[in-house]
Amino acid sequence: MNVNDISKIWLTSDAIWIETTDGRQASEQFRDYARLEKATPDQRSYYTTSHFGIHWPSLDEDLSFAGFFKHTSH
Strand partners, 27: 17
Would you state the pLDDT for residue 1? Answer: 82
d(CA 45, CA 66): 20
Tell me the per-residue pLDDT of 36-63, one tens digit each, with 9 for 90 and over. 999 999 999 999 999 999 999 999 999 9
Confidence of residue 74 (pLDDT cuts 50, 70, 90): very low
68, with CB counted inside 10 A (0-12, 13-18, 19+), is buried
User: Looking at residue 39, what DSSP letter applies?
Assistant: S
Number of Cβ atoms within 10 Å of the Cβ of 16: 22
For the chain, the domains span 3-69
Q: Nearest 5°: CA angle at 37, between 32 and 39? A: 150
pLDDT at 16 over 90: yes
Would you state the pLDDT for residue 2? Answer: 84
Per CATH, the architecture of 3-69 is what? Answer: 2-Layer Sandwich (3.30)
Q: Is the pTM of this model over 0.75?
A: yes
Would you state the pLDDT for residue 71? Answer: 65
